[in-house]
Amino acid sequence: MTEQQKARRLIKVAQDFLKERYELQGHHIIVAAALLTKSGHIYKGLHIGTTQPSVATCAEIATIGIALASEKNMQIDMIVAVRDPEAYIISPCGKCREYIADYGPDAQVIVPLEADSGWEIVPISSLLPLKYKKRTQSGQIGICECKS
């Protein structure tokens, strides 16, 4: 399966999931994400909205949590998020870029094109250049404060 084929499949999973949940749960569901792991499994998740918008959780992060709970040594291969009402592809926010890079250092991210309604596949490193890294006492570079 080519990268384009994987991307089309993942986009469809996210769009179908958003449409299904949007109709069932109404306007509280505004974003869905789908991610493919290196092991070949697809997980899907939803934006977790609250009455306090500043504590809402992005769909990408919720989906990463589901994948982490389901797979030991989970690594993201590819990820996409779509937004209501037309389930158009959105680019991950800064917080999501950090999560994606930590759990998929070479992950591919499906993002919308600037010029039209198309999309492209880009490496997370291009969305988050010079990512924060923590140097441990042994001199190794850790990927996340909470893992050291």
Using CB under 5 A, pick the residue from 32, 33, 36, 58 that binds Zn ion.
58
Task: Name residues contacting Zn ion, limited to 98-117 (CB under 5 A).
Answer: none
Using CB under 5 A, pick the residue from 29, 82, 96, 124 that binds Zn ion.
96
Is-contact 14 44, C-beta < 8 A? yes
- 60 among known catalytic residues: yes
Indicate the residue type of 31.
V
Q: How far is Cα of residue 146 from the mean position of the Cα atoms in its chain?
A: 20
Which whole-number Å values give the CA distances from 54 to 49, 50, 57, in the listed order?
Answer: 9, 8, 9
Distance, first Cα to last Cα, the chain:
36
- Which of 56, 121 has the CB closer to Zn ion? 56
| β pairing state of 31-37 and 42-46 | antiparallel
Q: Which of 3, 20, 23, 60 is catalytic?
A: 60
d(CA 112, CA 59) in angstroms, rounded, equals 17
Select the span of 54-62, 71-79, 83-91, 122-130 touching Zn ion (CB under 5 A).
Answer: 54-62
Give me the 11-50 binding string for Zn ion, x by CB under 5 A, dash otherwise: ----------------------------------------
Could you list the active site residues? 60
- Residue numbers of the site for Zn ion (CB under 5 A)? 58, 93, 96
